[in-house]
Structure 1
Amino acid sequence: MSNYNVYVTAKDTGERLKKYNLKEVLTKEKGENKVNVDINTKFQKILGFGGALTESSAYALSKLTKEDREKVLESYYSEENGIGYSFARVHIHSCDFALENYTYVEEGDETLETFSLERDERYVLPLIRDVKNIRNDLTILASPWSPPKYMKTNGDMNHGGKIRDEYKELWAKYYVKYIKAMKEKNIDIWAITVQNEPAAKQIWDSCEYTAEEERDFIKNYLGPVMHSNGLQDKKIIIWDHNRDIVYDRAKTVLEDKEANKYVWGTGIHWYVSEAFENTSKIHEEFPDKHIIFTEGCQEGGVQLGSWLTGERYGRNIIGDLNNYIEAWMDWNIALDETGGPNHVNNLCDSPVIIDTKKQEAIYNSSYYYIAHFSKFIKKDAVRTLTNVEGEKVYAVSCINEDNSLCIVLMNENNEEKIINLNVCEDSFNIKLQANSIYTIIRKL
Structure 2
Amino acid sequence: MPARVANPATRPQPHRTAEAELTVVGADGRPLVDTEVTVEQTRHRFAFGNIGFDLIPLANGETTARPDSPFGGASPDQGEHLAALWLDLFNTATLPFYWAGFEPERGRPDTERLLRTAQWFQDRGCTVKGHPLAWHTLAPDWLRGLPTPEVAEVLRARIRREVSDFAGVVDTWDAINEVVIMHVFANEEHENAITRLCREQGRVPTVRLAVEEARAANPSATLLLNDFDLSADYERLIEDVLAAGVRIDALGLQTHMHQGYWGEENTLAMLDRFARFGLPLHLTETTLLSGDLMPPEIVDLNDYQVPSWPSTPEGEERQADEVVRHYRTLVSHPAVEAITYWGITDDGAWLGAPAGLVRADGTSKPAYEALRQLVKEEWWLPATTARTDGQGRVQVRGFLGDYRVTAAAGAGAVGLDRPGEVTAEVALEQP
TM-score category (smaller protein): 0.5 to 0.7
Pairwise CA distance, 1:283: 2.2
Q: Show the 5 A alignment for 1:104-123.
A: 104=103, 106=105, 109=106, 114-117=107-110, 121=113
Pairwise CA distance, 1:105: 5.1
Distance in 2 between residues matched to 1:265 and 1:129, nearest whole Å:
24
Match of residue 97, structure 2, among 75, 92, 95: 92
Match of residue 256, structure 2, among 271, 275, 284: 271
Match of 1:331 in 2: 342
Match of residue 76, structure 1, among 73, 76, 86: 86
Distance in 1 between residues matched to 2:149 and 2:272, nearest whole Å:
34
Match of residue 313, structure 1, among 323, 337, 340: 323
Q: Show the 5 A alignment for 1:3-402.
A: 37=12, 39=14, 47-54=46-53, 60-64=73-77, 69-77=79-87, 82-83=88-89, 85-93=90-98, 102-104=101-103, 106=105, 109=106, 114-117=107-110, 121=113, 127-135=117-125, 137-143=126-132, 144=135, 145-152=137-144, 164=148, 166-183=150-167, 187-196=169-178, 199=181, 213-219=202-208, 221-228=209-216, 230-245=217-232, 248-249=235-236, 251-259=238-246, 261=247, 263-271=248-256, 274-284=266-276, 286-287=277-278, 289-298=279-288, 301-305=309-313, 306-323=316-333, 324-336=335-347, 340=348, 346-355=352-361, 361-376=362-377, 377=379, 399-400=399-400
Pairwise CA distance, 1:329: 0.4
- Where is the helix percentage greater, Structure 1 or Structure 2? 2
CA RMSD of aligned residues (A): 4.4
In structure 2, the CA distance between the partners of 1:173 and 1:398, relative to structure 1 (3 Å rule), is farther
In structure 2, the CA distance between the partners of 1:295 and 1:57, relative to structure 1 (3 Å rule), is farther
Long gaps (5+) in structure 2:
19-43, 58-64, 66-72, 295-308, 382-396, 404-431
Alignment size in residue pairs: 308
Pairwise CA distance, 1:194: 0.5
Which TM-score applies when normalising by structure 2? 0.58
Which residue identity lines up with residue 297 of structure 1 in the other structure? T
1:355-408 residue CA offsets vs partner (Å, 9 max, x unmatched): 2xxxxx1111221233244325479xxxxxxxxxxxxxxxxx9843589xxxxx
In structure 2, the CA distance between the partners of 1:335 and 1:295, relative to structure 1 (3 Å rule), is same
Distance in 2 between residues matched to 1:129 and 1:304, nearest whole Å:
36
1:126-174 residue CA offsets vs partner (Å, 9 max, x unmatched): 6544433422x42324225532234359x9xxxxxxx956512321321
Pairwise CA distance, 1:199: 3.2
In structure 2, the CA distance between the partners of 1:317 and 1:90, relative to structure 1 (3 Å rule), is same
* 8 Å contact kept, 2:164–2:218: no
SS of the residue 1:333 aligns to: coil
Which residue identity lines up with residue 362 of structure 1 in the other structure? T
Match of 1:429 in 2: none
1:206-248 residue CA offsets vs partner (Å, 9 max, x unmatched): 97668x94422122x22332344x3222222113324344762
1:396-433 residue CA offsets vs partner (Å, 9 max, x unmatched): x9843589xxxxxxxxxxxxxxxxxxxxxxxxxxxxxx
**Larger RCO, structure (CA 8 Å, separation 6 or more):** 2
Long gaps (5+) in structure 1:
8-35, 95-100, 156-162, 356-360, 380-396, 404-444
Distance in 1 between residues matched to 2:169 and 2:13, nearest whole Å:
40
Work out the percentage of aligned pairs sharing the same amino acid. 10
* 8 Å contact kept, 2:284–2:339: yes
Distance in 2 between residues matched to 1:188 and 1:61, nearest whole Å:
23
In structure 2, the CA distance between the partners of 1:275 and 1:244, relative to structure 1 (3 Å rule), is farther
Which entry has the higher C-alpha Rg, 1 or 2?
Answer: 2
Which TM-score applies when normalising by structure 1? 0.56
In structure 2, the CA distance between the partners of 1:244 and 1:271, relative to structure 1 (3 Å rule), is farther
Which residue identity lines up with residue 265 of structure 1 in the other structure? A
* 8 Å contact kept, 2:311–2:359: no
